[in-house]
Structure 1
Amino acid sequence: MNFETDFTMTIGGKGVAGASSFPVLNPANETVIAQAPDCSREQLDEAVAAARAAFPGWRATPVETRRDLLNAIAGRIFANIEPLRRLLTLEQGKPYADAEFEVGGTGMFVQGTATLNLPEIVNEDSAERKSITRHVPIGVIGAISPWNFPVILAFFKISPALLAGNTIVLKPSPFTPLTTLKIGELLRDLLPPGVLNIVSGGDALGPWITSHPGIDKVAFTGSTQTGRRVMESASSTLKRVTLELGGNDAAIVLPDVDVNKVAPELFWAAFRNNGQICIASKRMYIHKDVYEPLKDAIVDYAKTVKVGDGTEQGTQIGPVQNKQQYARVLDLIADSKKNGHHFLTGGDAVDGPGYFVPVTILDNPPEDSRIVQEEQFGPILPLLKVDSIEEAVAKANASDYGLGGSVWSSDAEKALAIGEMLETGNVWINETQHLSPLAAFAGHKQSGLGVENGEAGLLEYTNVQTISVKR
């Protein structure tokens, strides 16, 4: 298999060329690295029909067999980490080490999901009747994955959907379809035809999926703005939905931290994957007693980090992934400049090809500024001075988002008590971004609807069915 040419969709277990094609760019140099198939409406109908035809047999497949096939999927991914990570770096921009972590982490997530079980509840077991509640598959899942972690976030949907007995039509982002398409090719001989279909396309394909009458549930990861449109589109047929959306996560730093120890950790909490993570720390509330030394330590550390082409040795942060997001990041920087905010590092675009923005750190901008109130999803971080932890908690909670948050302290118990006051679906103490296939991941407020991962995430791909038998 050539991992850098001949990209085809997977429909009904076969490789299918698109009705047309579209270019995929390398964000590090803006060159076209491949043409991806552009799925037509008719081809989407074929994919949905294939998934629908495969559903009865897959639903009837014993769960232990489905579990074994998930482990086989993980094994196939592990066996191809090297070519997959190289392709992922080319299309997404992240450094090789980060791409390897994502691909390998995907295999681990698939394996972890395979250990989950669907519960069955006995409601009554009497002389008169037996009543049980069980969880049954929904049907055909329309899954839409994003460009920041295109592989692992696709399998956040694929793994539980398959284990629960559903079939899938997956659409990767048009910015990063290639690695996902190749994984589809790798898996064609493992799964029954039609169980996993992967189609790629432009802006029209997503709405076709969310409104398609043959799709029973939509699982979407992306922005809150797009999530609202997905929910509206799915409402026409009352599709089930899982929406993992945006965040404006706050980090709260207590005055008792070890400055030199936490400075690098706080830096990567904000700038891992170039800040293009829904659960990145996007606002950092630092107690006034430690603000100045911690600010200096974070800035000093930032100066040691190499930004560049992900294929180059030593690169730690790659480019912004696409031109649209690049423009948005530059617009936020321009707004801070216009309003006279103090830049500690960065603030200027890099000349030359590629969507590069230097690490940019702001010194205590106003709370009502765009860079504090909006999700930047890029390499910009506002450091914010607070007089008390109560003030930090109040400001952290004063947001339409509620995805994640973190508290940093040398006293973990004290930090936990503060973390429990955060109005978010995920709270980390002295770390961020730790996710597990065994633990529920969900957003509060406008950060999402439903759950991914863990038993709760698995149940998202089922309908509840209660059976009563009169004796």
Structure 2
Amino acid sequence: MERFRPGADYRMFVGGDWVAGSSSFEAVDPSLGSPWAAVADGTAADAEAAVEAARKAFPSWRKSSVATRQALLSKIAERIEANADLFARLLPTENGRPVREVAIADVPASAAIYRYYAGIVRSHRGDQIPVEDPHSLVYTVREPLGVIAAILPWNSPLITTANKLAPALACGNTVVLKPSEFASASVLEFVKLIADLLPPGVLNVVTGGPVVGATLAGHPDVAKVTLTGGGPTARAVMTATAAVLTPTIMELGGKSAMIVAEDADLDRAVADAAMGIYLANGEACIASSRLLLHASIADDFLSRFAALAASIKVGDALDPATQVGPLVSRPHFDRVSGVLSTARDQGVRVLAGDEDLLLEPANKNGFFLRPTVLHDPTGQADIVTSEVFGPVTVAETFTDYDEVVARANSTRYGLAAGVWTTDLARAHTVAGALEAGIVWVNKWFDLPAGAPMGGVKDSGFGRELSWETMLEYSAPKTVNIDLGAPRFSLWG
């Protein structure tokens, strides 16, 4: 498949206009290790201008009808689907997403999110509050917050944009998007597709590095900041928002445990474990990066799983035959490689991942890593509790279910977890005891629109992808009406 190439250098989108930056940075194709586009490197002034444009657009947009917002979200979904071929070339070029996954994950999932919020926007309403006083009528209305600053990651830019933009617009907010430096082009190309649907200033995009993010997080005219990213970034953002008392939504990292019981269907469990860690090149916050295997089936499971991992085709993200593509950047590749080196030094066994990489000559400078399976039976190595964010999973063994739940809960993360068993009581008991925002039973990576997505502990707070998200982007106003209550004389 042909690589994506832009017609010109990328500009920012502010107040309905495409704005050039005072400087630019290079976007690097991770399959080749070479630059393919120039992206505007925004400044604090650019971020200020975007917030001002969003602030000016808010009074009018907040009054837009439900029908207007519903139609808008439906049209966005249609344009994503109509341009599936564009994203099929763009996402692999930009961040190494295997092209086969774009059609089965990124495009349909993104369109589904906009359609979901187009549907529930008509159910976004307040309540009538029963009170003791028969002469009082008390009710609430839900009102938009104002300017939303959305700070995006690089691993699934189309989907994470939808997770933030769709509910924010549905509630009547205006938005400033700050894409990752490693995935700015896909957000800008998406905005090109839908810019004519929106009044100027309702949606703005400022590209660039930490200066842009810090300006948005600390801006007094931003009503809420929503971030998908890692813990260090989250702490920096929350430090900035604290100074101006801006609330946040945080969708952060994970070290998700997949518990496989002795009665599990091993064929399905092995297949789901592979999908859970190797989909999206392992660069997913909900990846199944820990395997907790009952001792009676551990050897059988690992034999099958390691053989499957060793058979996976690694290659250029634009090759339809590729099953795992490159990591997103050279610095990230070096970090993941360093984590693996430390694990080896700590005595962790490598069951798969040392096989030769059979790459085409054009890909010799790409950021490729073999799908890796590690074995640390007692779970003592650092890699057991630290997020890797690559195609690497580590297996442990257990015999006692109270113990395995305690081990699964022993990390500071709490985003996702899962249990594979045919025992109904065990499924419910273990699911109830796991400290995670999402628990799967006999499946992984299923995130339908409408099911709340978010974590506990260091995996963040707030929920995306659901009806509850509408509450994150709006606030209740209480209206208390007197219906002719008698007045008591208190004065004079």
Length-normalised TM-score, structure 1:
0.96
Q: Deviations over 1:92-119 (max 9, x none)?
A: 1011111232023211111112111213
Of 65, 71, 76, 1:68 maps to 71
Equivalent position amino acid for 1:322 in 2: S
1:393 matched residue in structure 2? 405
2:396 is aligned, of 367, 375, 384, to 384
Structure 1 stretch displaced more, 455-464 or 341-350: 341-350
Q: State how far apart, in whole Å, the 2-side matches of 1:182 and 1:261 are.
A: 38
Q: Which moved more, 1:174-183 or 1:296-305?
A: 296-305
Deviation at 1:414, TM superposition (A): 2.8
Is contact 1:15–1:185 with CA below 8 Å preserved after alignment?
no
Query: 2:310, 2:355 within 8 Å by CA — same for their partners in 1?
Result: no
CA shift in 2, pair 1:2/1:287, >3 Å: closer
1:236-259 superposed Cα distances (whole Å, 9 cap, x missing partner):
111110000111111100001122
The 8 Å contact of residues 348 and 375 in structure 2, kept in 1 or not, is answered as yes
**One-letter amino acid of the counterpart of residue 367, structure 1:** G
1:309 aligns with 2:307: no
User: What SS is found at the alignment partner of 1:29?
Assistant: coil
Q: Distance in 1 between matches of 2:292 and 2:142?
A: 43
SS in 1 for 2:196: coil
Is the aligned partner of 1:320 residue 2:320? Answer: no
Report the number of matched residues: 471
Cα drift, residue 44 of structure 1: 1.6
1:443 equivalent in structure 2: 455
Question: What CA distance in whole angstroms lies between the structure 2 residues aligned with 1:319 and 1:216?
Answer: 37
| SS in structure 2 of the partner of residue 368 of structure 1 | coil
- Please tell me whether residue 274 in structure 1 is matched to residue 299 in structure 2: no
Paired residue secondary structure (1:119):
coil
Q: 1:297 aligns with which of 304, 313, 318?
A: 304
Pair 1:219-2:226 in alignment = yes
Contact 2:100–2:320 (8 Å) recurs in 1: no
Alignment of 1:354 onto 2:360: no
Aligned-partner residue type, residue 222 of structure 2: I
- The 1:256–1:365 alpha-carbon spacing in structure 2 relative to 1, beyond 3 Å, is closer
Quick one: which amino acid aligns to residue 453 of structure 1? L
8 Å CA contact 1:412–1:429 kept in 2: the answer is no
**2:486 aligned partner:** none
How far 1:155 moved relative to its partner?
A: 1.2
Measured at CA, do residues 2 and 148 of structure 1 come closer, stay the same or move farther in structure 2, by a change above 3 Å?
closer
Q: 1:397 offset after TM fit, Å? A: 1.0
Superposition pairs of residues 168-207 of structure 1, within 5 angstroms: 168-207=175-214
Question: In the alignment, is residue 432 of structure 1 matched against residue 436 of structure 2?
Answer: no
Structure 1: how far apart are the matches of 2:338 and 2:175?
Answer: 38
Read off the aligned partner of 1:105 and give its amino acid letter.
A
- Quickly say closer, same or farther: Cα 1:4–1:284, change in 2 above 3 A: farther
Structure 2 SS opposite 1:217: strand
Counterpart of 1:240 in structure 2 is 247
Structure 1 stretch 131-140 or stretch 37-46: which is displaced more?
37-46
The structural deviation recorded for 1:365 is 5.0
1:149 to 140, 146, 156: 156
2:422 alignment partner in structure 1: 410
Aligned to 1:208: 215
Unmatched 5+ stretches in structure 2: 358-362, 484-492
Q: How far apart, in 1, do the equivalents of 2:377 and 2:8 lie? A: 47
Give the residue type in structure 2 aligned to 1:121: D
Distance 2:83 2:410 in 1: 45
* CA–CA distance in structure 2, aligned partners of residues 108 and 258 of structure 1: 31
Aligned-partner Cα distance in 2 for 1:349–1:2: 31
Q: What residue is the counterpart of 2:489 in the other structure?
A: none
One-letter amino acid of the counterpart of residue 376, structure 1: V
8 Å CA contact retained: 2:293, 2:396: yes
- Please provide the CA RMSD for this pair: 1.7
Residues 329-388 of structure 1 show CA distances to partners (whole Å, capped at 9, x for unaligned) of 111111112122211011489593111111111122542311101011111111111122
State the partner residue of 1:121: 127
**Contact preservation (8 Å) 2:309, 2:372:** no
Aligned match of 1:48: 51
Contact residue 346 and residue 358 of structure 1 kept, 8 A: yes
1:69-88 matches, cutoff 5 A:
69-88=72-91
Shift of 1:297: 0.7
Describe the SS at the equivalent of 2:311.
Answer: coil
Shift of 1:127: 4.3
- 1:145, 1:171 within 8 Å by CA — same for their partners in 2? yes
From 25, 39, 50, the equivalent of 2:28 is 25
- Partner amino acid, structure 2, of 1:32: P
| Counterparts in 2 of 1:435 and 1:4: CA distance versus 1, 3 Å | farther
Q: How much does 1:438 deviate? A: 1.2
Considering fraction of residues, name the structure with more strand: 1
> What is the aligned partner in structure 1 of residue 487 from structure 2?
none
With 160-169 and 59-68 compared, the bigger mean Cα shift is at 59-68
Which structure 1 segments of 5+ residues have no match?
none
- Name the amino acid aligned to 2:136: R
1:12 aligns with 2:15: yes
Q: Verify the 8 A CA contact 1:247 1:375 in the aligned structure 2.
A: yes
**Higher Cα Rg, which structure:** 2
Q: Which amino acid aligns with 1:185?
A: K
Residues 1:35 and 2:38 are matched in the alignment: yes
1:182 corresponds to which letter in structure 2?
E
Amino acid corresponding to residue 195 of structure 2 in structure 1: R
2:482 aligned partner: 470
Alpha-carbon shift at residue 295 of structure 1 (Å)? 0.6
| Contact persistence 2:157–2:187 (CA under 8 A) | yes
- Which moves more between the two structures, 53-62 or 339-348? 339-348
Residue 292 (structure 1) shift = 0.5
Inter-partner Cα distance in structure 1 for 2:377 and 2:212: 40
Q: Percent identity?
A: 35
Residue 359 (structure 2) pairs with residue 344 (structure 1): no
Mapped to 2, the partners of 1:186 and 1:270 lie a distance apart of 32
Counterpart of 1:337, as a letter, is R
2:108 aligns with 104
